[in-house]
Amino acid sequence: MVYDPIVSFLRKQKRGGTEVLSYTLLRFVIACANKPKKQRAFIIQNQKYRYSNLPHTRWEEGRVSGAVYHHNKILSDLAALAYRKFSSANPLHPEVFPGVRKMEAEVCAMVSEMFHAGPKAGAVMTSGGTESILMSCKAHREWGKDVKGITEPEM
């Protein structure tokens, strides 16, 4: 079997006697690879059920702060649809994916209008999380230099 060297390597990657997740996932992929479509669908559904029923915080009831941003079935379905449609697009290559560039321009224009940014404003989209925070810090650093004359900013 072509997977033997990989499986052998991953079997050696133990943490306190527990399999590494990547090994478990690889076993799952191998188990599904040669199964008929209906059987694969059943296995996948079974795995989803198994993982979704593990104990977790009741985030759906608003019991956490910062880990989950919004839970709404309609928005979640829309986000999943958008992800399926654009997950393979790379905005770093707008010549290959001109639709992504157009989408970014339209979203930036809408947000700029919402914040009454004015004609000299610039905008970019980020992937979220850390990148967004860093871009905000950079924007404020530049604003502090231009407007307040801060030449040695501190955080």
Q: Which domain holds residue 49?
A: 4-55
pTM for the whole structure: 0.46
Q: Does residue 77 lie within any of the structural domains?
A: no
Q: Does residue 20 lie within any of the structural domains?
A: yes
Q: Does residue 113 lie within any of the structural domains?
A: no
Structural domain count of the chain = 1
**Residue 90: per-residue pLDDT:** 77
CA distance 45 to 37: 12
CA distance 26 to 32: 10
What three-state secondary structure class fits 19?
strand
Q: Over 80: is that where the pLDDT of 25 sits?
A: no
Q: Does residue 18 lie within any of the structural domains?
A: yes
Q: Does residue 94 lie within any of the structural domains?
A: no
**Residue 87: per-residue pLDDT:** 80
Structure confidence by residue, pLDDT tens digits, 59-91? 777 777 766 666 677 878 888 888 888 788 777
